[in-house]
Amino acid sequence: MDPILEILQKDARTSPEDIARLTKLKKPEVVKRIKKLEKEGVILKYKTIINKELISDNAKEVRALIEVNIVPQKDLGFDRIAERIYSFPEVTNCMLVSGTYDLLLVVEGKDLHTVSNFVAEKLSPMENVRGTVTHFLLKKYKEDGVILKHKEENKRIAISY
C-alpha cells in the first residue's frame, strides 16, 4: 500500500510535514498526492474513534450485528439488494461475506426497540430477504486497531464473614 495511506490510516491527524519527513518526500508532493487520493475516492473520510463508555452524559445507544440471508437478483447479484439495505439510516456498515449468510450489517439505534423495529418492519419484510440473525453488541474492547479503556466500576457487593 502507498506509504502515505499507511500513515494516514494509523493516524489521520498526521500533518503533511510529518508525512514528508517519514516518507522522505517534499511537503508539496505529499499535499498534492493526498488531494489526488481524496479526489479519486481512495480517501473517503477522516475518522475519530470515540470511546463512548467514557462519556458521562452518553445516552446508551444500541448497536447490533445482523447477518442477512438474501436471494440475489437475476443479472444484478447481491449489489441491488445490498444498496436498498444500506440506504436505511440505521445501517452504518454493510458487507458481503462468505459463509452461512450473505450480508453482515452493523445497525445502530437509540434503544433496543429501535433496532428490533428496524429488523421487524424494514429489513425482514423485504422481498429478497430470506432470514436474519441479530447479535446485540454488549461491550467493545477494540475498535479499528485501538484498544478501548473502560471505566472501572466495582458493582460486586462486599461480603464479609
Is 42 or 154 the better-scoring residue by pLDDT? 42
At residue 125, the pLDDT reads: 96
The model's confidence at residue 19, banded by pLDDT at 50, 70 and 90, is very high
Is 56 or 109 the better-scoring residue by pLDDT? 109
Is 126 or 73 the better-scoring residue by pLDDT? 126
Is 74 or 101 the better-scoring residue by pLDDT? 101
At residue 159, the pLDDT reads: 75
At residue 155, the pLDDT reads: 65
pLDDT reading at 151 higher than 70: no
- CA angle at residue 33 from 31 to 37, to 5 degrees? 115
Give the torsion through C-alpha atoms of 113, 116, 118, 121, to 10 deg. Answer: -110
159 vs 161: CA distance, rounded Å: 7
At residue 64, the pLDDT reads: 97
- CATH architecture of the domain covering 61-139: 2-Layer Sandwich (3.30)
CA distances to 42, 61, 82 from 45, in Å? 9, 23, 21
